[in-house]
Structure 1
Amino acid sequence: MSMIKPRSKHFSLLLVTLATLLSLSVWFSTNAVSTVLETEKSIDQSSIAVLTIAVQIGFVFGTLFISFTNLSDLINARTLFAVSSILAAITNFLVIPFDSTDALVVARFATGAFLGGVYPMGMKVISGWYVSGRGFAIGTLVGAVTLGLGTPHILMSVFSENWQMVIILSSILTITGGVILKAFVSDGPHDVPGARFNPRYLISALSERGPRLALIGYLGHNWELYAMWAWIGNFMFYVLEERSLFGDGVQLASLITFLVFAVGAVASSVAGAWSEKIGRTAVATIAMVISGSVALFIGFIPVQWSVLIVIFALIWGASVIADSAQFSTAITELSDPVYRGTMLTFQIGVGFAITAASIWLLPVVKDLSGWGWAFAILALGPAVGIIAMLRLRSLPESRNLAGGKR
């Protein structure tokens, strides 16, 4: 292991990060073009929410299938990543020819299911390259996820008059990511041999306090994160529709939305490095205090103060994702390395199950009482996450986190 050059693991991190960024470009593709779909395909905002939820539920199905079958530890993670990316790209492309809402829901569900073989596999591959510095590595990878999810919005800011190009390019980027990971990345020196099928492992692992609290913290984090990501573009359009500095309101709102994702990508990597110095639970707690606070008030700010809203949206974009890698890294440090892929996939799958509820609930509350209360309910997630992280920090098991820094 000492013969592994740092340059090789950092280069692998760069490639895995790039591959993951590209491969997740299809996730929010319909959200990026939602304002156009409402006109072109006669889809209302509630149906857009259903399409978003379909991706989330599909992702949950895909990840839970992989985790309960131990598939991610039975076959090579890079192969699963590549095949899943190609299939996700194909089903994303179907958004163009399909016109009925039912057909679109099926296509988006399939896209989400195949993405279940992408995101967790990227984490597994990179955790095979790092022990020391794993928080930074996974934080950087989560940053790539953030940027990848925001990619359709920057595409929409360029192709606002041609929404089909947004769908086509996001599919091409996803296929490219799969090819990069399979063809140019090798398994790391800390990767472990494939495990035997063991359906009881999940039950035994979650009976332990450490992994269970890391999972609870992740659930709270996800309650806020994906609902914010799913609807921040619509909120930005609501705020900036009549206040565009160039082009039309859709372009400016799409650009600001992409920047919200972009600052999150940077914050995720920085938070990962910071967690190696002060601890995983500390960084996660600080991030959730900030993001939960912004969620409580950003929707109540008068739209006339659009510059202030944009500033707080960027702060929210940075803080809402900064804690994500801490939960994923904690799971790899608190569970059996042989079943690392299974635990990561299960954590992510269950975490994403809760996102369907918050993504659905937010527009319902918005229609009843406005953006203020709609965003405020998201603060419930960070509140639960903070309690879980402080509890985990007090346990002896937390000494396994970040080389003893908890």
Structure 2
Amino acid sequence: MPHTKQILPLIVIAQFCCTSLWFASNSVIDNIILDFDLNKSAIGNLTSAIQFGFIIGTLVFAIFNIADRFSASKVFFVSAVMASLFNLGIVWQNNTLVSLLFFRFVSGFFLAGIYPVGMKIASDYFKEGLGKSLSFLVGALVIGTAFPHILNPLTRYINWQAVILTTSALSILGGVLIFSFVPNGPYLKINKSVNVYAFATIFKDKNFRNVAFGYFGHMWELYTFWAFVPVILKLYQTQFNINLNISLWSFIIIASGSLSCVIGGYISRKAGTRKTIVIALTLSGLCCLIAPFLLNISLISVVILFLIFWGMVVIMDSPLLSTLVAQNADAKTRGTALTIVNCIGYSITIISIQLTSYLLSFTNSMFIFIILAIGPVLGVISLVKNNKALSWKSI
């Protein structure tokens, strides 16, 4: 068994490897559209399919308390292998939109046994400093999400299918790392019973409920921003007739969030977790509001710096919100609570992604992205409400 100090890096590496599946299709979406004769709206549909699969997966995992009844490491391993196999389905030559949606859906289903379960494994090992631990874990998710974009330029020299094969191989590697080197943690509490009422009972606690609603506001913005970063860059490129390395900048903009996750973890230790979350939500909300104006100027350096900043603040609060969810949940149902909150949060992302995709079918105006500010605004209100330590004045 590895030393406890080695556990976190192992979980982080495994999380990165497995979550590279998340936007695997988005990174080569132009090739997929061309090879399978799809409409341009496929990006929204395929992204929503994996989100919907994740939602159903988290719902099933939560109802049957899988993360709390079985070894989290084994659940992670099985999920990683299954997700990688269905991710490979994307390269099938006879794919149609329906089959692609199916493969993305099932991959998303098994990601429910990776992302929240990875957080559960971390919480079983790190009682003190959980926020810092989860900041590294979510940082790995961010880099894993961005990673397929950096592979995209390779499609000029190799088949785009190699990107999909690489992400599937990484997922299996991540599962093996957890299964082989990360046994059950010292703070693990096994709950052998199936509590089908957990979905309702966990929200009875007011503090848990306020934190969860803050997380939901954060999710309204996050994945829609990630999904449409390449679209934003393409729109900007077309508008000003300039040449951009969209894949590279998409990677940089999304991956920059991994650094802010770690920075946020350290800031929260001095400023407080809730206050750090509120600051991050406020900044990302402001980015949503000013984006239409900044994205309409021709100074490319300013636009890129703005998008990198947005990419940092949009995710900075994520590990801190997960920390508060874990800390405000009962230890025996912590894994289920994390899974349920993820389930609802990712349900919200589908609405946001589909609404944005629908609006973009009518107009290419950057003003569409103002609607993303709805989430941060509601998230801040939920976190500040009924919290004496976090008054508007103190913020």
Using the size of structure 1 for normalisation, the TM-score is 0.91
Q: Deviations over 1:130-151 (max 9, x none)?
A: 1221101011101111110111
Which of 328, 331, 338 does residue 334 from structure 1 map onto? 328
What number of residue pairs does the alignment pair up?
A: 385
Corresponding residue of 1:365: 359
CA distance in 1 between partners of 2:47 and 2:278 (Å): 28
Corresponding residue of 1:402: none
| More divergent stretch after superposition (169-178 vs 359-368) | 359-368
CA distance in 2 between partners of 1:330 and 1:156 (Å): 36
Q: Deviations over 1:66-125 (max 9, x none)?
A: 011111111111111111111111111111114210111111101100111110110000
1:172 aligns with 2:169: yes
CA distance in 2 between partners of 1:205 and 1:129 (Å): 22
Classify 1:177/1:371 alpha carbon distance in 2 versus 1 (closer, same or farther; 3 Å).
farther
Answer whether contact 1:156 1:254 (CA < 8 A) is retained.
yes
The one-letter code matched in structure 2 to 1:306 is I
Gaps (5+ residues) in structure 1? 399-406
| More divergent stretch after superposition (217-226 vs 232-241) | 232-241
- 1:87-106 equivalence runs, <5 A: 87-97=82-92, 98-106=94-102
Answer whether contact 1:240 1:306 (CA < 8 A) is retained.
no
CA distance in 2 between partners of 1:135 and 1:158 (Å): 36
CA distance in 2 between partners of 1:123 and 1:307 (Å): 36
Instruction: Name the SS of the counterpart of 1:368 in structure 2.
Output: coil
1:267 aligns with 2:266: no
- 1:40-79 equivalence runs, <5 A: 40-79=35-74
The one-letter code matched in structure 2 to 1:243 is I
Quote the offset at 1:325 in angstroms: 1.1
- 1:386-401 equivalence runs, <5 A: 386-391=380-385, 393-394=387-388
The one-letter code matched in structure 1 to 2:236 is V
Answer whether contact 2:59 2:340 (CA < 8 A) is retained.
yes
Answer whether contact 2:88 2:164 (CA < 8 A) is retained.
yes
Answer whether contact 1:363 1:374 (CA < 8 A) is retained.
no
CA distance in 1 between partners of 2:355 and 2:319 (Å): 25
Which of 2, 13, 22 does residue 18 from structure 1 map onto? 13
Quote the offset at 1:243 in angstroms: 3.2
Gaps (5+ residues) in structure 2? 391-395
| More divergent stretch after superposition (368-377 vs 49-58) | 368-377
Instruction: Name the SS of the counterpart of 2:385 in structure 1.
Output: helix
Quote the offset at 1:36 in angstroms: 1.8
Which of 267, 278, 282 does residue 285 from structure 1 map onto? 278
The one-letter code matched in structure 1 to 2:250 is T
**RMSD of equivalent CA atoms:** 1.8
| More divergent stretch after superposition (223-232 vs 202-211) | 202-211
Answer whether contact 1:239 1:303 (CA < 8 A) is retained.
no
The one-letter code matched in structure 1 to 2:38 is I
| More divergent stretch after superposition (217-226 vs 277-286) | 277-286
Corresponding residue of 1:294: 287
Corresponding residue of 1:225: 222
The one-letter code matched in structure 2 to 1:175 is I
Instruction: Name the SS of the counterpart of 2:20 in structure 1.
Output: coil
1:133 aligns with 2:129: yes
Instruction: Name the SS of the counterpart of 1:132 in structure 2.
Output: coil
1:385 aligns with 2:379: yes
Corresponding residue of 1:38: 33
CA distance in 2 between partners of 1:115 and 1:88 (Å): 7
Instruction: Name the SS of the counterpart of 2:191 in structure 1.
Output: coil
Answer whether contact 1:281 1:392 (CA < 8 A) is retained.
no
Instruction: Name the SS of the counterpart of 2:299 in structure 1.
Output: helix
Classify 1:185/1:170 alpha carbon distance in 2 versus 1 (closer, same or farther; 3 Å).
same
Identity %: 32
The one-letter code matched in structure 2 to 1:263 is S
CA distance in 2 between partners of 1:126 and 1:373 (Å): 40
Answer whether contact 1:25 1:152 (CA < 8 A) is retained.
yes
Answer whether contact 1:237 1:253 (CA < 8 A) is retained.
yes
Answer whether contact 2:63 2:198 (CA < 8 A) is retained.
no
Using the size of structure 2 for normalisation, the TM-score is 0.93
Which of 190, 195, 198 does residue 193 from structure 1 map onto? 190
Corresponding residue of 1:401: none
